[in-house]
Amino acid sequence: MPDYDAFLLVSFGGPEGRRDVIPFLENVTRGRGIPAGRLAAVAEHYYAVGGISPINQQCRDLLAAIGKDFAAAGLDLPVYWGNRNWDPYLATTVAEMAGAGIRRALAFVTSAYGSYSSCRQYRDDIEQARAEAGPGAPEIEKLRHFYDHPGFIAPLADATLQALQALPPDVRGPVPLVFTAHSVPEAMAAASGPPPGGRYPAQLAEAARLVADRVNAARPGQGAHPWRLVYQSRSGPPSQPWLGPDVCDYLEELAADGAPGAVLVPVGFISDHMEVIHDLDVEAVQTAQRLGLPLARAATPGTDPRFVSMITGLVKERLDGPVTPAALGSLGPSGISCPNDCCRLAAPAHGPGRPAGS
């Protein structure tokens, strides 16, 4: 097996003060022709929380937890962190790694799924950072997708059970579970590989099913919770087809059908960053309140010890030789590497500040 000598956490990045917000959004949308007015509108979401995205602190917390878990597991790997769109920038971190003599590293990307914006774009940015670092840049290999790993599914299932307990006592029966993920253009989903319709929605649906099955198994005799995968954070033009339905539209549908309540499960995310705290905790909550629909939200895995240990396990899969990868469900574990042309798009399209997996 290759001799890896470092671990790299790769994330999206986010502003850490009001002065950072517009420059950050300009980084995210550079080259896409997004009007300044649209950037200003999205900036208000950040200003509402003081201009500070929670994602950077969540990465700091996760990196600290990973370092402790590595030590407990006997993994002697230095840990690094680089972002695509804000400090610490990925290119700066890779240059630091090169200066420290790192030769080969394993990268964990803060998205569980396969698509252009949740996998391929991170891989491309890693290669760009290596090119900027020059001839001494380390080789960097991305760890596999983990959407069906027990260390991802179990925390989500337990968080869903806790959210059910947060509903009023008279609506804790088999209320619908509403699994949410970042929407992407249908063309991007289709380009994310097999099966038909794309790897991205297929992996999301499998993760949602695995969580729902665990929740139902933990509540025997109370009726099975119906569930559906929906999407959030769409930011493209109306003329461009995106994955749907939108979460708020679906809450309208549930209320019209007489649902007693609902639990939102952000299956598309690993931490409570801006897409979760604004699109779900603000917009979806306001929609549910207007509809008179009791609503609760499950927490994301964050630094749950099982999730952190999953990351250690993904690293050990690569260090310990041929092993059976931990995976649930019917799709089977993702391969170690992707084809060179996997998930590529001729002209990727995203709105400001809302790429999948941020």
Instruction: Determine the average pLDDT of the residues in 208-227.
Output: 95
What pLDDT does residue 323 have?
76
Percent of the chain at pLDDT > 70 equals: 93
* Six token digits for residue 94: 């890779």
pLDDT at residue 77 greater than cutoff 80: yes
What is the per-residue pLDDT across 145-198, written as a single tens digit (0 to 9) for each?
999 999 999 999 999 999 999 999 988 789 999 999 999 999 999 999 888 889
Q: Is the peptide bond between 195 and the residue preceding it cis, with omega within 30 degrees of 0?
A: yes
Please give the backbone phi and psi of residue 44, each rounded to the nearest 5 degrees, phi first. Answer: -60, -30
What pLDDT does residue 340 have?
62
- Whether 187 and 238 have beta carbons less than 8 Å apart is answered as no
What pLDDT does residue 356 have?
36
Q: Of 23, 28, 26, nearest to 275 (Cα)?
A: 28
Any idea which of 17-31, 124-138, 240-254, 333-347 has the lowest mean pLDDT? Answer: 333-347
Q: Who's near 109: CB < 8 A, 6+ residues apart?
A: 10, 11, 118, 119, 122, 142, 143, 357
Percent of the chain at pLDDT > 90 equals: 78
- Round to whole Å and give the CA distance between 355 and 358: 6
Residue written as token pair 């749907």: 244
| Residues making up the chain, counted from first to last | 358
Integer-rounded Cα Rg, in Å, for the chain is: 20
Which DSSP letter does residue 281 get? I
107 bridge partner residues: 8, 142
What pLDDT does residue 297 have?
98
Mean pLDDT of the chain: 91
What pLDDT does residue 135 have?
92
- Whether 232 and 180 have beta carbons less than 8 Å apart is answered as yes
pLDDT at residue 357 greater than cutoff 80: no
What pLDDT does residue 355 have?
38
- Whether 187 and 348 have beta carbons less than 8 Å apart is answered as no
pLDDT at residue 338 greater than cutoff 60: yes
- Whether 21 and 46 have beta carbons less than 8 Å apart is answered as yes
Any idea which of 65-79, 85-99, 226-240 has the lowest mean pLDDT? Answer: 226-240
pLDDT at residue 211 greater than cutoff 50: yes
What pLDDT does residue 32 have?
76
What pLDDT does residue 358 have?
40
Helix residue ranges per DSSP H, the chain:
18-29, 36-47, 55-72, 90-99, 121-133, 150-166, 186-190, 199-217, 247-256, 274-278, 285-291, 305-319
Instruction: Determine the average pLDDT of the residues in 313-339.
Output: 82
Q: Work out the pLDDT band at 34, boundaries 50, 70, 90.
A: confident
Instruction: Determine the average pLDDT of the residues in 211-226.
Output: 94
Classify burial at 128, counting beta carbons within 10 Å of its beta carbon; exposed 0-12, middle 13-18, buried 19 or more: middle
Q: Of 90, 27, 76, 35, nearest to 53 (Cα)?
A: 27
* Six token digits for residue 164: 């059910």
What pLDDT does residue 348 have?
45
* Complete domains list, the chain, with CATH: 6-146+303-319 (3.40.50.1400), 150-297 (3.40.50.1400)
SS (H, E, C) 111-142: CCCCCHHHHHHHHHHHHHHHHHHCCCCCEEEE
Q: Work out the pLDDT band at 35, boundaries 50, 70, 90.
A: confident
